[in-house]
Amino acid sequence: MSTHCFFAATPKALEAVLANELTELGAKNIRETVAGVSFDGTLETAYNICLWSRIANRVLLVLDTFRLTSQDELYQGIYKINWFEHMRTDNSFAVSFHAKNSPTIKNTHFGALKVKDAIVDQMRNKFQKRPVIDIRRPDIRIHVYLRNDTAQVSLDLSGDSLHRRGYRDINIKAPIKENLAAAMLIHSQWPEISRHGGTLLDPMCGSGTLLLEGALIAADYAPGLLTKQFGFLRWKQHDPECWKQLLDEAEQRKAEGLKQLPTIVGFDQNRYSMNAALKHIENAKLQNAIHIERRDIKDAKPAESWKPGLLICNPPYGERLGDEEQVAELYQQFGHALKSNFTGWQAGIIISNPELGFRLGIRSKKPITLYNGAIECKLLRINVQEQSFFVPKAKTQQQRLNEVNATSQVLKEETGAEMFANRLRKNLKKLGKWAKREQVNCYRIYDADLPEYAVAVDVYHGEKTWVNVQEYEAPKSIDQAKANQRLAGLLVEIPRVLGINKDQVFLKIRRKQKNTDQYDKQADSHQFHVVQEGPCKFLVNYEDYLDTGLFLDHRPIRFKMQQQAKGKRFLNLFAYTGAATVHAAVGGASMTTTVDMSKTYLDWAKQNLALNQIKGEHEIIRADCMEWLTLEVNKNQPRQYDLIFLDPPTFSNSKRMENNFDIQTDHVTLIYKTVGLLAPGGILYFSTNFRRFKLDKSALSDLTVEDISEETIPEDFSRNQKIHYCWRIQE
């Protein structure tokens, strides 16, 4: 067989893992690049990689490389390739065109049309027939990558992306792709552990991807055996005899490997996830190889018969302030389970926030950077041994406040915070004019503008001027005494600049995954104050909770819904203290429904409605929103709403919920269930404060989805464009 040049694409940060894999699969002259690896080999080599690669997304056969300085040269370069060597006139094909730093062609859609025209014209001129275009299931896929002035034209041998093994139900959204799961296992030494008979356990297995990839590795089971269609099968130069020989060999290896599989087990407390995992295991024909149990993370422990091995996990990432307490508690429970029951095991855990690793209380090896989609993550590799254990120490809210207050007593005139005071005056001058013009009474005047003074400062004008200060806790590298002095200085300067008494300033600590009681009740003052937002009044509390009861960044979307609410039926899900409900009711909504799980918040919402003298059909429901939606959507005559506000938490594992909730994993299901209650022509506003959130547009393709984030970020939060994301959704 002759040698060709190929390119294997892979997710970012997996290039080195892929290069090692390609070496083992017989590739030569391997060259790593961003998101892929170039290599040389025979057609048999390429087939082998399509069949066996656990890391690659695609395998491309390079047909030609040429330079171009005009759009016409792209057409001519494509036309010169003899396409009859690769396809028949009755074949279908699709073109994928990508450009980077090209001065000639910036519109990739235009580039793809040029390529398509050249291929069609050549075939029609020679044979008076032309192949058809099929972007969904083409016989032949052609890739063109234009970088600067150089175009590389390739034939896609893989067809669909190789990470889609074929066992996953397309209707089930999984939080991690198969090739990332395989890379996690390889980095965590699973191939070696499995050869020695070690156990594989995922205590939060979700839909089972890590377990399935672990079983495929341990069983010497080629992932391509589950794939029904490859791109080369309808290619004119396909070698069926070579392919059949490789398939037969892979089937033989699989049969032998399945006989010596080690113990592979998954736990999850979510019955829907368990059902998905069982379905995927059945699709892979591994029912006798993988065991699934419904079990909470705090109850995770191995059976006596299990040989110590690898605990692998992709737990929730959780970032939104206000939801982190539950995520922190989950990781603390996870760490306790590891220390109590898994000494002598290895562990591989992928996280997006390094602080989450701290909550486990076990030291890890140097983290490895990986990307779960667009989210940068760290893979923690842990040797679960007693000498690696430590107790995460975090001061309570009150201890921290006592420290700062003690320091502020010493500071009288000179605080060293003049730089902060000057910035506060500048912001106050600018935002004060804006707030007066827009009749905004509660707004943010400072948000970590200066790195040395990492706090958020919100001002609330009511019967008095109140200030809520939220400290973003300094990293461990900052001297605690210095951090205390800076914070104490701020507490002295804020009353001076605003001309208020110091007892009108309240301090809260917003830790990231450092304290499990941070979002519990902070005090029992029961002191509520009335503030105004447009025509609406709200009760806020500065002492008892970390948040005051009014999310200031959602002010524009509340006003938007108020303007649209007249005569509409309004639904507020994950309603918190009902601020959006009040705006809708004041705006003339014909009826409202407010749903939340917290009795405290719903009582607060009732008081907000009463404060605005709102009467009429305004329903308050205490329920798990996901379960409530499921029940309502499945009724013979579901409720119908014209306007819905959906602002879920990033993560929740409340004891009152039967299942965990994770916004990144569950948002598609949540949105579709909510849309099930939309009346014809109705509007759903979906918002999240998860800063690394990625909306799955492809899974929502049959809905009209418009990103309105930019227009919903208020002026006082304009320095932080990622404070939240917001979409307008209609059927």
SS (H, E, C) 49-107: HHHHCCCCCEEEEEEEEEECCCHHHHHHHHHHCCHHHCCCCCCEEEEEEEEECCCCCCC
pLDDT of residue 654: 55
pLDDT of residue 660: 67
pLDDT of residue 315: 86
Domain 178-226+245-388 has CATH 3.40.50.150: yes
pLDDT of residue 517: 34
pLDDT of residue 412: 45
Q: What architecture is the 397-510 domain classified under in CATH?
A: 2-Layer Sandwich (3.30)
The ranges assigned to domains in the chain are 4-156, 178-226+245-388, 397-510, 551-730
CA-CA distance, 702 to 180, in Å (whole number)? 28
Domain 4-156 has CATH 3.40.50.300: no
For 602, the 3-state DSSP assignment is helix
Contact 266, 181 (CB under 8 A): no
Short-list 212, 218, 163, CA closest to 191 = 218
pLDDT of residue 448: 87
pLDDT of residue 319: 46
pLDDT of residue 197: 96
pLDDT of residue 525: 60
pLDDT of residue 270: 84
Query: Splitting the chain (731 residues) into consecutive groups of 10 residues, what average pLDDT does each group show?
Result: 93 95 96 94 97 97 95 95 94 93 88 94 91 89 94 95 89 81 97 97 95 97 90 95 97 95 94 90 94 92 95 74 63 91 96 82 93 86 93 57 54 65 93 91 93 90 93 64 80 91 85 36 71 96 88 96 97 96 97 95 96 93 92 91 95 59 86 95 95 87 93 92 92 89
What beta strand segments (E) does 362-464 contain? 368-372, 375-383, 442-447, 455-461
pLDDT of residue 173: 66
Domain 551-730 has CATH 3.40.50.360: no
Give 392's Cβ-side CA count (13 Å radius): 22
Q: Are strands 36-41 and 28-33 parallel, antiparallel or unpaired?
A: antiparallel
pLDDT of residue 486: 82
Per CATH, 178-226+245-388 and 551-730 having the same topology is answered yes
pLDDT of residue 294: 92
pLDDT in tens, 621-634: 999 998 899 899 88
Residue 532 burial class via C-beta count within 10 angstroms: exposed 0-12, middle 13-18, buried 19 and up: middle
